[in-house]
Structure formats: C-alpha cells, structure tokens
C-alpha cells in the first residue's frame, strides 16, 4: 500500500529537512502516530529490522546505520520520493566515525524560521542542521535554538502527532507565535561563527554526490600534505602548524576520524572541511607552500562595498510581491524588484527560493497545458463548423484564420490543427 508522496523540504540546500522530521511529518500527514507509520512500512521486512525499528529517537534517525538506511529505503519505496538519504548525516558513515556527541538529543528549532515557513506556506519542518550540537544559534537569524515548548516545557520527540510540527504535540501551543527570540551572546561575528565550518560543510554536502567521499578521505589528505613536506625536507614547517605526534597518530590510526578531530585539523591547516574529507586538502592554495600563492594585482585588492539590507523589510516586500502575482516571477526578476542580488535570496531564504522555483515551474506548466488545450478546442471547433458546411479547408488556411483570431504561438497552433485534422478527416 502506497503512502502520500510528501516531498522532502529544502532538498539541495543546507536547510534540508532531517529524515527524523520527515518521518514525524509524514505520520502527521496520514493522521497516525509515528509508531503506526513505521509498523506499516516495515510489515514485510525481516524480523530483525522490525525489532530494531520499533522505536527510534530523532538523533538515531539522522545518524547513518543499517537500520536507518533500511527505513529510508522502505519509505522511499512507499512514497515514491527519492533522495531521502539527504536528510541524514551520511558523512558520519563515510569517511567519518559516528561521532554521536556531535548530534544533539531530540528536536531543536528556530522560532523565526518557523515564522517564515508559516508566512510563505511552507510545511513546518525541523532542519538537519538543527541536530548538530556545534550549532547553538540559527545561522540566519542569530537567535538561540529552542529545544522545549515555552508553555509546558516538553520536548517534541514524542511519537504522538496531533498537530503540525511547529506546534507542541503535548499542549498544542504554537512553538513560535508570540515567542520572543533570545539572541545569543556570542563573541563571534557572523563570518567567524564558532560553528561556521559545520554550516559550510552542510552547504557542500547538500550538492555533493551521496556517499561520494573516499572512505579514508581525512587520512589521505594528511598523507598527501605530509609527503610533500617530507620530500622537500621541510617537515619542520608542517610540525609548526600541527604537532608531530598528533599528525603521525592520525595518519597511522586504523580508526575513522571523528568530526571534532577533523574540525581541529581543518582549522589548523586553514582549509574547508569538505577539502579534508574528500582527500584533496593538498589542492587548497597555500596549504603546501606559501610560495605557491601568486601576488595579487592591485585591481584585486579593492574592497567591495557591501550592501547592508534590512532583512525584515526585504522579507515583507518579498511576501507582498508573491501574493500579488498569480504566477510567481522568475528569481532574477524578483531580485531586481527587491533591489537585491539573486545570491542574497538563495543564501538568506534558501527554502523559500526552492519552493518558489517549484511553484513557478508548476504554474508555467499549467499555463502551457491550458494554452495547448485552448488551441485544440479552437481547431476542432473550426474544422467542425467547416465540415457541417461540407467545405473542406486546408490546414494552412485554418492556421491563418486561427492565428488572427486567437493570437496563439505558431507551433502550438500548428500541432493543434494537425491533431484536429487527423481526428476529423483521418
């Protein structure tokens, strides 16, 4: 028996929905508890799988394991939705260790993100990044993430789903409406946020091929860097960056590297996490030798004037433009009307832009379908009237008259006339 084809929200962005959130939201859409949904999809699975899936905490549904992967596969088959693996931290299987301490317990959320989802008609969901322990603030709104209802103080990991995910499942209160967001007292600015490397990693993984990282990517990166310095008899410079025992211990270790250790190495080397995990850290400029970095020409030294946008004002204007247009405008046109860049909209409102593109694509497809049907009705009506008068008319003449009457595009009319002619005259 098939389930509703509920799409995974935010797919292709760092704000992708977690698989734990998807399972809970899918249960709410079907009006059942999460346990009932799981029992339904694993009914024909082996006994071992049925026993282990009986109860899975949210943190267990975002960490990769044989049980989680089996559950992903059966739900994909039941919903006809692919790439649900994007909702789990698959890098914790290849090339990192499970790193259980890097995933927080239960669900967490940003009240302002929930507010934006409600305002733009996006189903409320919990983002995968909110499960990361390193992330204590929303990277978009800079407010602390909440983990309990402000009314009853309960978490949201219960299997009972009587309300949408942005409402407390215990008391029914909204998790964001009327809640004053708490701003974190962080010592870090937005571009040097303590968890910035984790956020950047999630951005990179959203577009990276699933399980495309090498199994020993971090070790491979460190080996390439060490070999370069060893062959040039200059390993002393490398040991100035990374202590010798720490480096050699990581290279010769038989165990997978944890996320915390990988973050430490990437910070010491000054490289992105994705470069370390992919085994290509040696390709990062300056990591092998500072002499490899070319001197920048003077024209490259000019600082770009940064536009400080009023995010609340832009959000209201964006909502107003979308409500006033039946067919959403294209992203470049929307950016032009808002006097912002396309990149700003994609970065600041990634999930909204994803929803906008899907809505626009569906609206344009519906309009094209209506145009084709109108052309076919006009052609059939035209030939039927001529057939009643016993006057045969050429398709070229039919095109000229229908073109003047309807103003439809050339190939739409030609295809419609051909279909109508074959249906009436054979």
pLDDT 10s digits, 35-45: 889 888 887 66
| pLDDT the model gives residue 286 | 63
CB atoms near residue 22 (< 10 Å): 27
| Residue in the structure block whose two tokens are 């669900």 | 107
Residue 367 has pLDDT above 50, yes or no: yes
Q: What is the mean pLDDT of residues 289-317?
A: 66
| pLDDT the model gives residue 292 | 46
Residue 187 has pLDDT above 50, yes or no: no
Q: What is the mean pLDDT of residues 252-277?
A: 89
Residue 307 has pLDDT above 80, yes or no: no
| pLDDT the model gives residue 159 | 93
**Phi, psi for residue 137 in degrees, rounded to 5:** -120, 150
With contact defined as beta carbons under 8 Å apart, do 95 and 217 qualify?
yes
Residue 54 has pLDDT above 70, yes or no: no
With contact defined as beta carbons under 8 Å apart, do 75 and 26 qualify?
yes
Residues 6 or more apart from 399 whose CB is under 8 A from it? 413, 414, 417
What Å distances lie between residue 77 and 1, 2, 67, 74, CA to CA?
10, 8, 16, 5
With contact defined as beta carbons under 8 Å apart, do 57 and 105 qualify?
yes
Q: What is the mean pLDDT of residues 375-398?
A: 66
Q: What is the mean pLDDT of residues 309-335?
A: 85
Output DSSP code: residue 121.
T
| CA-based nearest residue to 123, from 136, 135, 114, 132 | 114
| pLDDT the model gives residue 289 | 60
Distance, in Å, from the CA atom of 353 to the CA atom of 18, rounded to the nearest integer, reads: 18
Q: Residue 402: which pLDDT band, with cuts at 50, 70 and 90?
A: confident
Q: What is the mean pLDDT of residues 52-76?
A: 86
More confident residue, 11 or 325: 11
pLDDT 10s digits, 78-97: 999 988 999 999 999 889 98
DSSP-based three-state secondary structure for 271: coil
DSSP-based three-state secondary structure for 100: helix
With contact defined as beta carbons under 8 Å apart, do 81 and 5 qualify?
yes
Output DSSP code: residue 137.
B
DSSP-based three-state secondary structure for 125: coil
More confident residue, 192 or 177: 177
Residue 189 has pLDDT above 50, yes or no: no
Residue 229 has pLDDT above 70, yes or no: yes
| Residue in the structure block whose two tokens are 């189903």 | 123
| CA-based nearest residue to 279, from 330, 213, 338 | 213
Quick one: 146 exposed, middle or buried, by C-beta within 10 A (0-12, 13-18, 19+)?
buried
Distance, in Å, from the CA atom of 238 to the CA atom of 269, rounded to the nearest integer, reads: 9
Residue 160 has pLDDT above 80, yes or no: yes
Distance, in Å, from the CA atom of 126 to the CA atom of 21, rounded to the nearest integer, reads: 5
| pLDDT the model gives residue 124 | 96
Distance, in Å, from the CA atom of 195 to the CA atom of 359, rounded to the nearest integer, reads: 33
* Paired strand residues for 96: 257
| pLDDT the model gives residue 47 | 52
Residue 48 has pLDDT above 70, yes or no: no
Q: What percent of the chain has pLDDT over 70?
A: 86
Q: How far is CA 308 from the centre of its chain?
A: 26
What Å distances lie between residue 70 and 66, 85, 152, 316, CA to CA?
6, 11, 35, 43
Distance, in Å, from the CA atom of 339 to the CA atom of 212, rounded to the nearest integer, reads: 38
Model-level pTM? 0.74
* Paired strand residues for 127: 17
What Å distances lie between residue 423 and 72, 146, 386, 388, CA to CA?
47, 63, 14, 15
| pLDDT the model gives residue 383 | 67
Any idea where the domains of the chain sit in the sequence?
A: 1-209, 214-294, 308-348, 365-426
| CA-based nearest residue to 116, from 10, 3, 231, 4 | 10
| pLDDT the model gives residue 53 | 60
Distance, in Å, from the CA atom of 93 to the CA atom of 110, rounded to the nearest integer, reads: 28
Residue 222 has pLDDT above 90, yes or no: yes
């Amino acid at each position: 028996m098939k389930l509703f084809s509920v799409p995974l929200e935010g797919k292709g962005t760092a704000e992708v929905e977690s698989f734990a959130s998807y399972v809970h939201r899918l249960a709410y859409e079907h009006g059942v508890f999460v346990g009932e949904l799981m029992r339904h999809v694993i009914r024909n699975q082996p006994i071992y799988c049925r026993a282990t899936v009986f109860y899975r905490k949210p943190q267990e549904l975002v960490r990769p394991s044989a049980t989680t992967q089996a559950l992903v596969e059966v739900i994909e088959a039941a919903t006809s939705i692919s790439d649900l693996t994007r909702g789990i931290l698959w890098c914790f299987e290849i090339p990192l260790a499970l790193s259980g301490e890097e995933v927080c317990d239960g669900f967490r959320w940003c009240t302002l993100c929930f507010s934006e989802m409600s305002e733009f008609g996006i189903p409320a969901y919990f983002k995968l990044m909110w499960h990361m322990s390193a992330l204590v603030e929303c990277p978009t709104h800079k407010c602390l993430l909440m983990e309990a209802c402000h009314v009853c103080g309960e978490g949201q990991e219960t299997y009972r789903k009587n309300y949408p995910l942005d409402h407390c499942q215990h008391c029914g209160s909204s998790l964001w409406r009327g809640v004053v967001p708490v701003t974190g007292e962080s010592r870090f600015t937005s571009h040097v946020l303590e968890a910035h490397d984790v956020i950047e990693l999630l951005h990179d993984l959203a577009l990276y091929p699933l399980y495309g990282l090498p199994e020993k990517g971090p070790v491979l990166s460190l080996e390439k860097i060490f070999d370069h310095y060893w062959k040039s008899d200059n390993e002393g410079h490398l040991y100035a960056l990374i202590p010798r025992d720490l480096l050699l211990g990581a290279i010769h270790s038989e165990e997978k590297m944890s996320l915390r250790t990988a973050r430490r190495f990437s910070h010491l080397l000054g490289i992105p996490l994705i470069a370390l995990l992919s085994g290509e850290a040696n390709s990062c400029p300056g990591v092998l030798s500072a002499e490899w970095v070319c001197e920048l020409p003077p024209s490259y030294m000019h600082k770009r004037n940064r536009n400080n946008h009023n995010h609340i004002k832009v959000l209201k204007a964006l909502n107003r433009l979308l409500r006033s247009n039946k067919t959403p405008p294209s992203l470049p046109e929307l950016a032009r009307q808002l006097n912002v860049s396309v990149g700003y909209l994609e970065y600041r409102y990634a999930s909204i832009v994803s929803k906008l593109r899907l809505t626009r694509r569906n609206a344009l497809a519906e309009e094209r379908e209506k145009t084709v049907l109108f052309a076919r009705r006009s052609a059939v009506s035209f030939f039927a009237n001529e057939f009643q008068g016993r006057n045969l008319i050429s398709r070229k003449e039919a095109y000229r008259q229908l073109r003047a009457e309807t103003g439809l595009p050339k190939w739409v009319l030609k295809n419609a006339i051909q279909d109508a002619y074959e249906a009436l005259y054979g």
